[in-house]
Amino acid sequence: MKRILIAGVGNVLRGDDGFGIRTLERLRTSKLLDQESVRLWESGIAGISLVQELMDRYDALVVLDAMDRGGNPGELFVVEPDLRVLARDAARPWSVDLHETKPDGVLRMAAALGVLPKRVWIIGAQIGSCDELVESLSPPVLSSVESACQRVEELVSGYLAEDLSRFDEALQVLFWLKGEGFAADAAAEDLERWLSLDAKSIAPLLERMARLALVEEVAEGRYRLTAEGSREGGRRFSDEFSDMTKPGHGECGDPDCDCYASRDPADCRHNVV
């Protein structure tokens, strides 16, 4: 399962600099983000603490922070840093500042330690004022909090949808391999030729299926479909190839099987292991 960290950065005692923290507080009420794969975390102004949190290993990172990019107060920015540049810069000699607060410095530090996620977004609002000792956001920046929350939800749902699509593909391939008699079980390396992923990316999908009881590990790193996995794989395979499979299903060979009445291979009782 892909893990996403949403980090709120800033100082709530410095007016608009608290944008990231206030946005994070608002996101805690989001039902969309209330799931195991998403962690909401307050970094405050200590950048090193964010690097320490990233050591727990995440696949994606969303940083919420106030910005000064010369725009109108409250203007929203969504930036996806070039991770290749960060990795290149991290490889060069540079001094470590444990009080680093700027996102680029924090990300460079994470890259140097090998804990920078594969996808990173920074969502920020143009500041109005951060000079006064005040806990409230200025009206323009406050009005951008809701829009920022929507952008976070869009990014996260889109990212997880990509993961779900790959999950479905892996389940369908396992169902097809078993149904065609090619393989009763498979390892991540076996699925590389069927999926547009490498074994390193496929392994977490198999582990996620095991946690959902869709597959069971029969040997180290090798998995086979459970009865529930066969039913789910059959259903998803049928949905994907419905135009080709539903018009004249006769693969089963058992005229008393439910799939003959429904004309849907997913209803075939012989899919159960």
76-79 sheet: strands from edge to edge: 38-44, 4-9, 60-67, 119-126, 76-79
pTM of the model: 0.61
Q: Are residues 222 and 153 in the same domain?
A: no
Q: Are residues 132 and 194 in the same domain?
A: no
Residue 214's pLDDT is 87
Residue 242's pLDDT is 56
Residue 20's pLDDT is 94
177: its two tokens = 């391999």
Q: Are residues 55 and 127 in the same domain?
A: yes
Tell the residue number behind the tokens 């983000």, with chain if given: 33
Would you say residue 171 lies in a domain?
A: no
Range(s) of the domain holding residue 207 = 183-271
Residues in the chain predicted with pLDDT less than 70, given as ranges, are 1, 46, 90-101, 161, 241-256, 259-273
Contact (CB, 8 A) for 246 and 264: yes
Residue 246's pLDDT is 44
Model confidence over 8-36: pLDDT tens digits?
Answer: 999 888 889 999 999 999 999 988 787 78
Residue 150's pLDDT is 92
Give the number of other CB atoms < 10 A from CB of residue 208: 17
Residue 271's pLDDT is 57
Residue ending a domain, among 160, 195, 223, is: 160
CA distance 189 to 264: 31
Instruction: Provide the phi-psi class of 56: left if phi over 0, else alpha when psi is between -120 and 50, else beta.
Output: alpha
Which burial class, exposed, middle or buried, applies to 63 when counting CB atoms under 10 A from its CB (0-12, 13-18, 19+)?
buried
Number of separate domains in the chain: 2
